[in-house]
Amino acid sequence: MVDIHSHILPGVDDGASSWAIAIDMVAAAAKDGIRHIVATPHSNAQFRYDRSAHAERLMELRKRVGVPMELSLGCDFHFSLENVQAALQDGKQFCIGSGPYLLVEFSDFGIPPNADTAMRALMRRGIVPIITHPERNLFLRSKVEMLYSMVEVGCLIQVTANSITGFWGKAARRTCLGLLKRGLVSSVATDAHDLTHRPPIMSAAREAIHSKFGKDIAEALCSTIPSAIVAGKPIPDIPSLVRRRETGAG
């Protein structure tokens, strides 16, 4: 499996609080069957994003981990005017690895009316937005049609692994299952912050998706599509997902 969203870098935001915890998180992820983690420090009003400092820290983490694990760099990019302007100037500084994919987190307090325009502007610059965990967003939860139109114009959707298994409550789980049912989700990721409360575990979500929606979709969302994302390649067509999107339920 490939985890495209993880606060694994120690001491840079509200994720891993020490090198020991970061190293143990990598070990726990490897044990769970994850072979590639994207470190995604926040870029928001609280945490400034410094690509080169994060890249150095990631290199240090590569040296220190004791298990086979590919590590690359991305960003948990908060949707704000300042961030969007910075990405329009130089999107690569926030994208996953050297590819076009950008994690975009919307505010819980509402989405500006020009969000659509901003997303299209990013796409014109060659950036592919991946909307992160809409199921946990109080506003987006009730705007599934808005998510549907964003997917139609080329955005991707990532849900959090433990939303599917119920950690974020019934409403988040229900929204998540609804999005999965309609084929709107492209990827599952851990959004891990630590070892206990928000751990780097995907296998339980993969099992749950497998049992509800079938093996093809579980593989696509946990492995095939996230592998393409970290490689910076186009998203492969997954027939069972396309079918669900087209029919609204598969």
Residue indicated by tokens 């502007």: 121
Residues 137/176, Cβ–Cβ less than 8 Å: no
179 vs 241, which CB is nearer to Fe ion? 179
Between helix 144-152 and helix 170-181 the angle, nearest 10°, is 40
The rounded distance, in Å, linking the Cα atoms of 27 and 73 is: 18
Tokens of 182: 């309609």
Phi and psi at 121, nearest 5°, equal -65, -40
- Residue whose CB is less far from Fe ion, 41 or 183: 41
Q: CB of residue 8 vs Fe ion: minimum separation in angstroms?
A: 11
Stretch that binds Fe ion, among 66-74, 157-165, 178-186, 187-195 (CB under 5 A): 187-195
CB of 5 to Fe ion, least distance (A): 6
Residue identified by tokens 């950690």 is 167
Only segment of 10-18, 68-76, 161-169, 196-204 that touches Fe ion (CB under 5 A) = 68-76
How near is the Cβ of 79 to Fe ion at its closest, in Å? 13
Stretches 30-38, 67-75, 76-84, 207-215: which one binds Fe ion (CB under 5 A)?
A: 76-84
Q: What string of DSSP letters covers 90-148? A: -GGGTSSTTSSEEEEE--TT---TTHHHHHHHHHHTT-EEEEE-GGG-TTGGG-HHHHH
Among 16, 76, 91, 229, binds Fe ion (CB under 5 A): 76
Q: What does the DSSP 8-state code read for residue 236?
A: P
Min dist CB 74 to Fe ion, Å, is 10
Q: 156 to 185, contacts with Fe ion by CB under 5 A?
A: none
Q: By CB under 5 A, how many residues form the interface with Fe ion?
A: 2
Does position 135 interact with Fe ion (CB under 5 A)? The reply is: no
**Least distance CB 133 / Fe ion (angstroms):** 8
Tell me which residue has its CB nearest to Fe ion. Answer: 76
DSSP assignment string, 56-88: HHHHHHHHH--S--EEEE--EEE--HHHHHHHH
**Residue 107 CB, nearest distance to Fe ion (Å)?**
13
Window of 48-56, 72-80, 137-145, 175-183 that interacts with Fe ion by CB under 5 A:
72-80
Q: Write the binding mask 188 to 227 for Fe ion: x where contact by CB under 5 A, - elsewhere.
A: ---x------------------------------------
Closest CA to 94 of 136, 60, 141, 47: 47
| Binding interface with Fe ion (CB under 5 A) | 76, 191
